[in-house]
């Protein structure tokens, strides 16, 4: 077949017509991720970002993919580039704050959360992630205030009362913290009621573990119950100064009972802190 100039032009036109849009690339990457084809998802996104360097949606997808596969530094870099391209994108500061924390950059996470709350003031009352960052940054008074504010958003969350308690213990000691512990409504998650009573001083760690292991539940629910039981029993031992038992439980939560939630990263961060203290 003789290739004429007209044929070449036709092939170029057809090729252009078949060129993927940014939206199509994003969908292809998302489909690949859901099919657990991580490398393929990266290929789509990397090629798409090279082709559309200022497309923020593709960069967001890659940032989220980086976070899901625990490439937190890369996720921070993607969100940073998004902010450089659009400083008026509040969500970017929130999302970068989350991965800053997961990367162990606690103070940086607070800075990003602060910007996000400045841009979206209504988010302040419910921003429990900032309260947790305050705790690990040693800003216990700020943490206490954050969790007290959250109480007006949801007064049935045992974890909120526990994290406020943790902040208070670091400043005032366990006895005073127990007397001032927030009253919590009906948190139906097992073993949260037992966790609350443990921190109040009415139950023992074994009672929390027994509740987590009781009953007939799905493997997924059992895993989640054991995660939270080990995490909060471990933190309880940490507050009492028993670093050995604290590490054993928090390490169990992080290593054997991973859940798809921010709190798993909290467990991992806490475990790593305890590991450093052991050395």
- pLDDT above 50 for 11: no
- Based on the domain organization, do 275 and 202 belong to the same domain? yes
The model's confidence at residue 175, banded by pLDDT at 50, 70 and 90, is very high
Question: Rounded distance, CA 147 to CA 161, Å?
Answer: 7
C-beta atoms surrounding 122 within 10 Å: 7
Contact indicator for 151, 184 with CB cutoff of 8 Å: no
**pLDDT (0 to 100) of residue 209:** 98
Domain boundary among 121, 140, 172: 121
Of 17 and 209, the structure prediction assigns the larger pLDDT to 209
- Based on the domain organization, do 33 and 102 belong to the same domain? yes
Quick one: 148 exposed, middle or buried, by C-beta within 10 A (0-12, 13-18, 19+)? Answer: middle
Asked whether residue 159 is assigned to any structural domain, the reply reads: yes
The encoded tokens of residue 135 equal 């705790």
- pLDDT above 60 for 186: yes
Question: Rounded distance, CA 57 to CA 53, Å?
Answer: 10
The model's confidence at residue 278, banded by pLDDT at 50, 70 and 90, is confident
- Based on the domain organization, do 202 and 174 belong to the same domain? no
Asked whether residue 259 is assigned to any structural domain, the reply reads: yes
- Based on the domain organization, do 82 and 106 belong to the same domain? yes
The model's confidence at residue 4, banded by pLDDT at 50, 70 and 90, is low
Of 7 and 270, the structure prediction assigns the larger pLDDT to 270
Domain boundary among 142, 167, 183: 183
Q: Which residues contact 97 (CB under 8 A, 6 or more apart)?
A: 108, 109, 110, 111, 112, 113, 116, 129, 130, 133
Q: Could you give the number of structural domains in the chain?
A: 3
The per-residue pLDDT of the chain, averaged, comes to 94
Residue 257's domain spans which residues?
A: 188-279
Asked whether residue 15 is assigned to any structural domain, the reply reads: no
- Which DSSP helix (H) or strand (E) runs through 156? none
């Amino acid at each position: 077949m003789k290739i004429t100039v007209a044929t070449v032009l036709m092939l170029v036109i057809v090729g252009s017509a078949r060129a993927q849009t940014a939206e199509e690339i994003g969908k292809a990457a998302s489909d690949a991720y859901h099919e657990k084809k991580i490398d393929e998802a990266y290929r789509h996104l990397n090629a798409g970002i090279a082709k559309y360097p200022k497309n923020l949606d593709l960069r967001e997808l890659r940032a989220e993919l980086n976070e899901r596969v625990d490439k937190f530094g890369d996720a921070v870099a993607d969100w940073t580039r998004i902010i450089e391209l659009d400083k008026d994108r509040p969500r970017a500061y929130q999302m970068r704050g989350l991965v800053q924390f997961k990367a162990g950059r606690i103070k940086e996470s607070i800075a990003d959360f602060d910007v996000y709350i400045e841009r979206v003031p209504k988010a302040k009352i419910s921003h429990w992630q900032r309260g947790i960052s305050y705790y690990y940054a040693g800003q216990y008074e700020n943490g206490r205030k954050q969790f007290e504010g959250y109480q007006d958003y949801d007064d049935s969350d045992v974890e909120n009362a526990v994290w406020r308690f943790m902040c208070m213990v670091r400043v005032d000691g366990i006895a005073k913290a127990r007397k001032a512990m927030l009253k919590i409504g009906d948190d139906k998650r097992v073993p949260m009621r037992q966790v609350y009573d443990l921190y109040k001083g009415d139950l023992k760690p074994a009672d929390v573990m027994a509740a987590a292991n009781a009953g007939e539940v799905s493997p997924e629910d059992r895993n989640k119950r054991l995660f939270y039981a080990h995490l909060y029993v471990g933190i309880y031992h940490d507050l009492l100064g028993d670093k050995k038992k604290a590490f054993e439980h928090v390490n169990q939560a992080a290593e054997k009972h991973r859940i798809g939630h921010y709190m798993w990263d909290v467990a991992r961060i806490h475990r790593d802190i305890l590991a450093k203290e052991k050395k």
